[in-house]
Amino acid sequence: MTDPRLRASDADRQRVVADLERHTAAGRLSLDEFTTRVDAVLAARTHGDLGHLTSDLPAEAQPSADARHLLIAFALAAVVVALLAVIISVYR
């Protein structure tokens, strides 16, 4: 988050609720903790208020470079297979 004194928008609150949902699904929060924090998110006025509600939770990991490379390789392989299927169907 940026300056903790800045007012939070509805989009900021929705993003924090989505983060809390992911942490609950991962087992880091109980349903009671989730409910309590969501109520606090909806009442939050500043970025600092929102930051305090997730400060004890780990940041979500970004996809690693290896995962991105694997995804690109898979996409290229799918394109090659599709092109081969088209070429084979044309020449039959």
Tens of pLDDT along 7-54?
Answer: 999 999 999 999 999 999 989 999 999 999 999 999 999 999 999 999
Tell me the residue range of the domain where 31 lies: 1-61
pTM score: 0.64
22 and 38 both lie in a single domain: yes
List the structure tokens of 35: 């409910």
Dist. CA 37–CA 83, nearest whole Å: 50
Q: How far apart are CA 52 and CA 37, in angstroms?
A: 10
Please indicate, yes or no, whether residues 3 and 48 belong to a single structural domain of this protein.
Answer: yes
Same domain, 51 and 92: no
Residue 62 — very low, low, confident or very high, per pLDDT cuts 50/70/90?
low
* CA proximity to 46, closest of 9, 89, 86, 83: 9
- The Cα 12–Cα 47 span in angstroms is 8
18 and 42 part of one domain: yes
45 shares a domain with 6: yes
In contact, 22 and 34? CB cutoff 8 Å: no
80 shares a domain with 49: no
The domain tally of the chain equals: 2
